[in-house]
Chain A
Amino acid sequence: MRYKIAGIVIVAVALVVIVGRVAIRADEFTDEDLKRWEAEYMSVVETGRQLWGSGDLGTNGVACGQCHPNAADTHPETYPKFQQQLGRVVTLGEMFNWCLMNPLEGEPLALDDPRMVALLAYATYERRGVPLAPGSH
């Protein structure tokens, strides 16, 4: 029994070493990790960019990009903020849902729906580098 367990452990360690790029320690990551994570992220940004221009999110064919080319005038850096149209402080995703329901005449997305995440990733990406200004109008 002991040999069995030891054997499994040896195989596991060997596998890890062979598969290998993944660091063994939790608090270390490599350049390859960073590159891979960035690529994973940009793939979602790209999905968001396509959804942004697609016209399929609502029911009337209107696309986010018709009024917000390159996600301009969405101001991700100002959220959360008091949103006049909802009468309360909201996050950017809630405002996206307002647009989905109103100018796009569609249904809201769950805030963790992959499509919502993609839209948020794209809009925030287009606004990278701008300082935070939460609550501003």
Chain B
Amino acid sequence: MSSQTRRDFLKTAGAIAAASCLPITTVELAFADTRKNFTFAHISDAHIQQIKGTEFVRNWDRGLIRAVAEANLLEPKPDFVVFGGDLAQLGKKSELDHGAEMLSKLNYKTHCVLGEHDYYLDLGEYWSKLFGDHYYSWDHKGVHFVVLNSILTYDDWTYERWPSAEQRMLEMAGLDNPNGSPFMVGSKQREWLAKDLKKVKKDTPVIVFSHSPIQKIYKGWNFWTEDAEEVQALLKPFDDVTVIYGHVHQIQYNQIGNISFNAVMATAWPWPYPESYAHADVNWPKMTVPMNRANPFFERDATGWQRIDLAGGRADLRYNLFDNTNRTVAYNHDTGRPEDKAFQKKADRVPPQTRY
């Protein structure tokens, strides 16, 4: 007879599950301001890819369908949903339409961010018709939200280098393509951001959504934002700033000064960690506990979406990992940085987190 009765077994399973479905108000927060507690969902990097005609890659379709279906089940309901970019794979109208149709099944208002796979075919023209402005801000329950288009690049690469729009899109589509060009926010948006932030009080929590990391992590795979330091400087004066970014298709998190950085998962496919590419020069955020190695038999393994709790002005990310154990990266007010709730200490890690 095992030492655990079935009652205990169910209780534990149920308690863990219940805690993970409720807002993280059970977390000990030193400076929690409960007026600012609310939840939103973040779905990103769907990469809807057309094969031909009305045939799309089934694998990526299923990822977005599942994320939308699960987000609709959230209890309590999220205040809104953010889509983090790369809805399409090659920026085609058919891909954006197919993706928009799947996103429309969400029962909540959706704010969208541009990704390079959406942008480089027609420079976001059709995307705007579906989703609106390329960069914008809004306020919600005392928090200031900003969306940046952080996947722009140098003008000559965008306007002069390539003979056709299709070619330009293809060149930007390959992550490891040496013909690519580094991402940036650019001076125009930085000016807009400076003006936008002028009206925000220093103690108002600021959340910035972007596609690229607003950091310089690994240039070879464009885990990079060329003017990261300039953007960070604009965010420096505020007490609580969190940047939430997509593009990397993996769990990453970092703290630079007062700014927390949190990556979100893709619904489509996972990416390797840069350190697994033996010849890489990587500025790796060392506090990141990697996600588990994927089993590619389960096409959704190492993909997922996020439930994000705003607690005390900082973001706690609950990664909903399909076919895998969920992870929570929460802001630790004592140490002043994001931390994995279960695996931050090396001694607590499990074999699938050992990566080459």
Contacts and interface: CB of A to CB of B under 8 A. Distances in A.
17 contacts: A53-B176, A60-B57, A62-B49, A62-B57, A65-B176, A67-B270, A72-B277, A85-B297, A103-B59, A103-B296, A126-B277, A126-B278, A127-B278, A128-B278, A130-B356, A137-B293, A137-B351
A69 interface: yes
Contacts of B176: 53, 65, 69-70
Contacts of B133: none
Contacts of B274: 72
Given A69-B277, A70-B277, A72-B277, A102 B296 contact: yes
Given A99-B296, A103-B59, A103-B296, A67 B269 contact: yes
A130 B279 CA distance: 10
Nearest to B354: A137
Given A67-B269, A84-B295, A103-B296, A129 B278 contact: yes
Contact of A68 (B57, B220, B272): B272
Contacts of A61: 49, 51, 57
A115 interface: no
Interface in A57-116: 60-62, 65-70, 72-73, 75, 77-78, 84-85, 99, 102-103
Contacts, number: 65
B194 interface: no
B349 to A, nearest CB: 14
B174 interface: yes
Contacts of B58: 60
Given A69-B176, A70-B220, 18 more contacts: A53-B174, A60-B51, A61-B49, A62-B57, A65-B176, A66-B269, A67-B270, A68-B272, A69-B221, A69-B272, A70-B176, A72-B276, A72-B277, A77-B356, A84-B295, A85-B297, A103-B299, A127-B278
A75 B272 CA distance: 11
A108 to B, nearest CB: 15
Contacts of A130: 278, 356
Among B177, B221, B270, B271: residue with most chain A CB under 10 A:
B271
A137 B294 CA distance: 11
A86 B102 CA distance: 34
A34 B35 CA distance: 71
Nearest to A133: B356
Interface in B274-312: 274, 276-279, 293, 295-297, 299
Contacts of B174: 53, 65, 69
A85 B59 CA distance: 18
Contacts of B59: 60, 62, 103
A62 B270 CA distance: 14
B221 A102 contact: no
Contacts of A75: 356
Contacts of B271: 67, 69
Contacts of A126: 277-279
A62 to B, nearest CB: 6
B98 to A, nearest CB: 15
A89 B59 CA distance: 27
A72 B272 contact: yes
B191 to A, nearest CB: 34
Contacts of B51: 60-61
A73 B272 contact: yes
B15 interface: no
A27 to B, nearest CB: 34
B21 interface: no
B175 interface: yes
Contacts of A66: 175, 269
A13 to B, nearest CB: 47
Nearest to A98: B296
B198 to A, nearest CB: 40
Contacts of A68: 272
B341 to A, nearest CB: 25
B273 to A, nearest CB: 8
Which 5 pairs across A and B sit closest by C-beta, in order of nearness?
A69-B176, A73-B272, A72-B272, A72-B277, A69-B175
